[in-house]
């Protein structure tokens, strides 16, 4: 259900992946290994890459990379410019100033917004990962009649636009007296999310079943097999789930618009929107404040991403994506 | 497939509700049990422990909201007074709602422009990354970063970088002698501008396609080479068919997401005190729905709008599925 409007998860092709583990460690992931340990794998069957083609690719990537990085650099540099110069297109500010940061800190409770966002993000991402893994395990390991139909239902919910459930869900939280609190922003995640259930199930299906049956024979109970054997093995795909959800929740605007009322409960996207309304559209035109707040609120995500990026990308590559 | 949904889940969920506390019973005989009638419960019980979060969540946050939303769409409801049943009036009203038609048209046009460009750009980036050798790790990080930027900040960037007078986009176009349009204020250029801005966040699709490219068996390229196929022929006859499931997937997911576009456009064009920027050209469907629901508190009408969106997305997805039968190649014989 949480794969609603805010989330545009990069999904997985419907095909395959069930026939995983053994086959994966062939052509494709040789690259992954080679990157992790540059000197380890340099097999003769490496991809058809001519030297010239590679250099051309580098040149094209560099040009495109500059296009992709430019907005960040511009944003950061604008945050150090005085009000009158924000719109000049210099990358190095003509007049360098920290005033914007001081002013933003006084104008807006950014620390509180960041704290709220961290709370929501941590709760949402951990709960959705654990619950989705549980459900995925239920579908991957157990055999019972109706399993296929039930799983089909899980997939069908992915197609449902968030807008359809938006209003009744609001009414539920309203009836529970939770509107105006942070609860509605994460508590729905306690019940798992169809996309992650699908992703993790694909991964579980690729693990050798004998392992789990052996653990059962050795006396592990159902929960023990799941928690002590399946979950540790699934770390790569769980890391993907975690990071996708962190990204989705950190940037979620619509739920924050619907449920949050007072400035001191705002999350970062909601707070930024409030700043845009007040300083961008409010006739004041203090774009330097908005720009600076954007920098402050984007940087934590960038750091998280840098720390996690190998896990994300290798996880995506090794989880549900063998087409 | 959704019509059958609630009943099927209800059937499966009833046992979960009856489940006694622990449910960790001894069932060592599981694999060799015969299929007596009534053994379903014993068979499914251990699974239901694990499935219970989803079943509860489905009933509370999907099935019930769907039913209630369908009911609300037949009412006049402002949250304060209780819903008043008005039959299909909301649906009739939609036919003569000019704003709705505008929003639907805007959304369709935006999606139609955005999805093909998005797919082409992510494919190009993925192909380049696939050829970049060891540098690909660095570059894929670069291309993924924008995905991590809050859409509100992306909306802000759009207003500033695409600014008609002194935005960098028009400055760069000026170098080539092109007089750039007023992206943020000229109704004809607002949607193309948003499309270009959205290309900045292709990172996730790029990574999916890259993963798919790396799983194309080397063998196929070797035999294509032996058969004397050139670069384009190999790309068209080997690469594209082999990654077509991933491509198809990206198309479907982005189309669905395109119809639900909200954050960036809402940030850049709507908000309190915003009159100058308020622009019909950026009125997307979900923005209109959101305004109706939480701005004007027309919960009944907004529910009807949500169901229309659902139908539209279903139809578009169904068309894509039918078309894909002929075009998507699935390796092996998969169920």
Residue B131: count other Cβ atoms within 10 Å of its Cβ.
22
Give the pLDDT score at A183. 96
pLDDT exceeds cutoff 60 at A6: no
What six digits make up the tokens of A134? 């549980």
Q: Which residues of B touch A150 (CB under 8 A)?
A: 8-9, 12, 51
Q: What mean pLDDT comes out for the span A41-55?
A: 58
Chain A residues whose beta carbon lies within 8 Å of the beta carbon of residue B317: 159
Global confidence as pTM:
0.81
- Per-residue three-class SS string for chain B: CCCCHHHHHHHHHHHHHHCCCCCCCCCCCHHHCCCCCCCHHHHHHHHHHHHHHHHHHHHHHHHHHHHHHHHHCCEECCCCCCCEECCCHHHHHHHCCHHHHHHHHHHHHHHHHHHHHHHHHHHHHHHHHHCCHHHHHHHHHHHHHHHHCCHHHHHHHHHHHCCCCCCHHHHHHHHCCCCCCCCCCCHHHHHHHHHHHHHHHCHHHHHHHHHHHHCCCHHHHHHHHHCCCCHHHHHHHHHHHHCHHHHHHHHHHHHHHHHCCCHHHHHHHCCCCCCCCCCHHHCCHHHHHHHHHHHCCCHHHHHHHHHHHHHHHHHHHHHHHHHHHHHCCCCCCCC
Tell if the CB–CB gap between A54 and B132 is shorter than 8 Å. Answer: yes
CA A91 to chain centroid: 30
Q: What is the pLDDT of residue A66?
A: 93
pLDDT in tens, B128-158: 988 887 778 788 888 888 887 888 889 888 9
Q: What is the pLDDT of residue A95?
A: 84
Distance from CA of B219 to the nearest CA of A (A): 9
Locus of tokens 């359809």: A164
The ranges of chain B with pLDDT < 50 are: 1-30, 32-33, 274-277, 333-335
Is A285 in CB contact (< 8 Å) with chain B? no
Angstrom CA distances, A161 to A137, A238, B128, B309, stand at 26, 25, 34, 8
Whether residue B157 lies within 8 A of chain A, CB to CB, comes out as: yes
Which residues in chain A have their CB less than 8 angstroms from residue B66's CB? Answer: 160, 164-165, 168
Which carries the bigger pLDDT value, residue A8 or residue B268? B268
Question: What is the rounded CA–CA span in Å between residue B214 and residue B113?
Answer: 28
- Classify burial at B92, counting beta carbons within 10 Å of its beta carbon; exposed 0-12, middle 13-18, buried 19 or more: exposed
- Average pLDDT of every residue of chain B: 83
Phi-psi region of B307 (alpha: psi -120 to 50; beta: other; left: phi over 0): alpha
A181 to chain B nearest CA, in Å? Answer: 17
pLDDT in tens, A169-201: 999 999 999 999 999 999 999 999 999 999 899
Which two tokens mark B100?
């709705």
């Amino acid at each position: 259900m949480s794969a609603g409007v805010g989330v545009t998860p990069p999904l997985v092709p419907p095909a395959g992946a069930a026939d995983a583990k053994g086959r994966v460690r062939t052509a494709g992931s040789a690259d992954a290994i080679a990157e992790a340990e540059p000197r380890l794998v340099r097999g003769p069957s490496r991809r058809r890459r001519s030297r010239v083609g590679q250099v051309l690719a580098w040149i094209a990537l560099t040009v495109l990379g500059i296009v992709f990085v430019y907005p960040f650099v511009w944003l950061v540099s604008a945050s150090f410019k005085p009000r009158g110069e924000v719109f000049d297109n210099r990358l190095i500010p003509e007049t360098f100033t920290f005033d914007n940061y001081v002013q933003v800190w006084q104008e807006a409770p950014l620390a509180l917004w960041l704290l709220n966002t961290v709370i929501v993000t941590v709760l949402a991402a951990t709960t959705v990962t654990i619950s989705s893994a549980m459900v995925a395990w239920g579908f991957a390991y157990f055999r019972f009649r109706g399993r296929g139909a039930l799983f089909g239902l899980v997939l069908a919910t992915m197609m449902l636009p968030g807008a359809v459930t938006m209003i009744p869900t609001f009414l539920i939280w309203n009836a529970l007296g939770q509107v105006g609190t942070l609860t509605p922003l994460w508590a729905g995640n306690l019940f798992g999310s169809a996309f992650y259930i699908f992703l993790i199930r694909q991964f579980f299906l690729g693990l050798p079943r004998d392992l789990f049956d052996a653990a059962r024979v050795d006396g592990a109970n159902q929960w023990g097999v799941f928690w002590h054997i399946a979950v540790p093995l699934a770390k790569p795909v769980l890391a993907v789930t975690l990071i996708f959800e962190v990204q989705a929740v950190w940037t979620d605007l619509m739920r924050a618009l619907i449920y949050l009322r007072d400035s001191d409960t705002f999350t970062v996207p909601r707070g930024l929107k409030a700043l845009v309304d007040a300083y961008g559209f409010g006739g004041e035109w203090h774009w330097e404040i908005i720009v600076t707040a954007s920098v402050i609120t984007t940087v934590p995500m960038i750091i998280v991403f840098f720390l996690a990026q190998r896990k994300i990308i290798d996880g995506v590559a090794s989880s549900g994506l063998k087409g | 497939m959704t019509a059958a949904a609630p009943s099927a889940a209800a059937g499966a969920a009833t046992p979960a509700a009856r489940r006694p506390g622990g449910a960790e019973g001894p069932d060592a005989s599981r694999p060799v049990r015969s299929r007596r009638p009534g053994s379903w419960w014993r068979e499914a019980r251990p699974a239901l422990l694990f499935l219970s979060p989803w079943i509860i969540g489905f009933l509370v946050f999907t099935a019930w909201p769907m039913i209630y939303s369908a009911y609300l769409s037949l009412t006049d409801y402002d949250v304060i007074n209780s819903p008043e049943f008005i039959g299909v009036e909301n649906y009739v009203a939609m036919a003569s709602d000019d704003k709705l038609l505008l929003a639907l048209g805007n959304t369709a046009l935006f999606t139609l422009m955005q999805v093909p460009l998005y797919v082409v750009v992510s494919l190009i980036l993925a192909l380049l990354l696939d050829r970049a050798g060891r540098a690909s790790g660095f570059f894929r990080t670069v291309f993924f970063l924008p995905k991590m930027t809050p859409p509100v900040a992306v909306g802000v960037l759009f207003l500033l970088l695409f600014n008609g007078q002194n935005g960098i986009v028009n400055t760069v176009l000026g170098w080539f002698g092109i007089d750039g349009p007023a992206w943020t204020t000229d109704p004809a250029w607002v949607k193309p501008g948003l499309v270009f801005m959205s290309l900045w966040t292709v990172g996730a699709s790029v990574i999916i396609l890259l993963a798919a490219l790396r799983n194309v068996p080397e063998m196929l390229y070797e035999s294509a080479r032996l058969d004397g196929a050139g670069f384009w022929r190999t790309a068209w006859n080997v690469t594209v068919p082999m990654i077509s499931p991933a491509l198809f997937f990206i198309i479907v997911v982005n189309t669905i997401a395109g119809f639900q576009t909200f954050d960036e456009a809402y940030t850049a064009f709507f908000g309190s005190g915003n009159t100058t920027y308020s622009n019909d050209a950026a009125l997307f469907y979900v923005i209109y729905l959101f305004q109706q629901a939480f701005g004007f508190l027309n919960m009944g009408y907004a529910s009807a709008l949500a169901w229309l969106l659902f139908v539209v997305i279903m139809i578009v997805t169904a068309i894509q599925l039918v078309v894909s039968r002929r075009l998507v190649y699935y390796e092996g014989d998969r169920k």
